[in-house]
């Protein structure tokens, strides 16, 4: 994996496979405190204690097609190599929360990458699920909630190309504005 946002995409795909109806994705950058925090929280089927204890082992997977499961180990390794930390909590029937924190200026921190592309890809691939995305940079923030969009759209589905185009623009433009405002915060 070359981007943090690709790891987020991979972990959130697990959430959809776990049958989650709502997936919350949080990206928070704080340059003063020097961290980049990401969290993926779902209300899917969760894991048993036994599964949870093995989940960061690359040679453990619930799949039957092969013997490796690399998504979570990759993410954990990436965070820990960049002076950060990794946490996963899960409860059967309740859901799973994955949190990875990176030291923001660490030389080994991979770039955040195209996070807006990740969110768009998730919505496009799973228009029947809801996503609550929050991006925060130096205290400046914006959110995108598909439940709110669904309410406005009525019977027009989220996966209509025109709607997806709007979602892409919404994500990209609001990120640019949030980052621009965040730069000013740092200079204060």
Partner 1 sequence: MKSLEELKAIRIRMQGQVGLRSEDSTQTRVVVGMATCGIASGARPVLTTLSDAVQSKQLKDVVVTQTGCIGLCQYEPIVEVFEPGKEKITYVHMNPEKALDVVNKHLIGGHPVTAYMLQSSEA
**Which residues of this chain interact with partner 1, rule CB under 8 A?**
1-2, 6, 9-10, 13, 17, 63, 65-66, 69-71, 74, 114, 117-118, 120-121, 124-125, 142, 148-149, 152-157, 160-166, 169-170, 173-174, 177
> Are the beta carbons of 20 and 42 closer than 8 angstroms?
yes
Q: How far is the CB of 12 from partner 1 (least distance, A)?
A: 10
Q: How far, in Å, are 38, 58, 173 from residue 150 at the CA level?
A: 25, 38, 20
Q: How far apart are CA 61 and CA 79, in angstroms?
A: 21
- CB-count burial class (<10 Å; 0-12, 13-18, 19+) for 176: exposed
Q: How far is the CB of 173 from partner 1 (least distance, A)?
A: 5
Q: How far is the CB of 105 from partner 1 (least distance, A)?
A: 25
91-103 exposure pattern, b = at least 16 Cβ within 10 A, e = fewer: eeeebbbbbbbbb
Q: How far is the CB of 184 from partner 1 (least distance, A)?
A: 15
- Residue 35 or 129 having the CB closest to partner 1: 129
- Residue 1 or 91 having the CB closest to partner 1: 1
């Amino acid at each position: 994996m070359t981007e943090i946002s690709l790891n987020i995409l991979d972990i959130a795909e697990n959430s959809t496979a776990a049958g989650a109806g709502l997936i919350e994705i949080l990206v928070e950058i704080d340059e003063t405190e020097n961290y980049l925090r990401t969290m993926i929280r779902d209300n899917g089927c969760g894991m048993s204690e036994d599964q949870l204890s093995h989940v960061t082992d690359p040679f453990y997977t619930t799949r039957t097609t092969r013997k490796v499961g690399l998504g979570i180990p990759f993410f954990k390794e990436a965070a820990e190599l960049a002076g950060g930390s990794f946490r996963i909590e899960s409860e059967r029937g309740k859901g799973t929360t994955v949190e990875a924190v990176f030291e923001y200026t660490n030389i080994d921190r991979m770039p955040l990458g195209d996070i807006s592309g990740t969110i768009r890809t998730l919505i496009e691939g799973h228009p029947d699920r809801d996503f609550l995305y929050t991006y925060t940079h130096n205290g400046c923030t914006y959110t995108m909630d598909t439940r709110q969009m669904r309410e406005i759209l009525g019977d027009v589905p989220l996966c209509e190309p025109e709607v997806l185009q709007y979602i892409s623009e919404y994500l990209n433009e609001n990120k640019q504005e949030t980052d621009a405002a965040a730069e000013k915060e740092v200079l204060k």
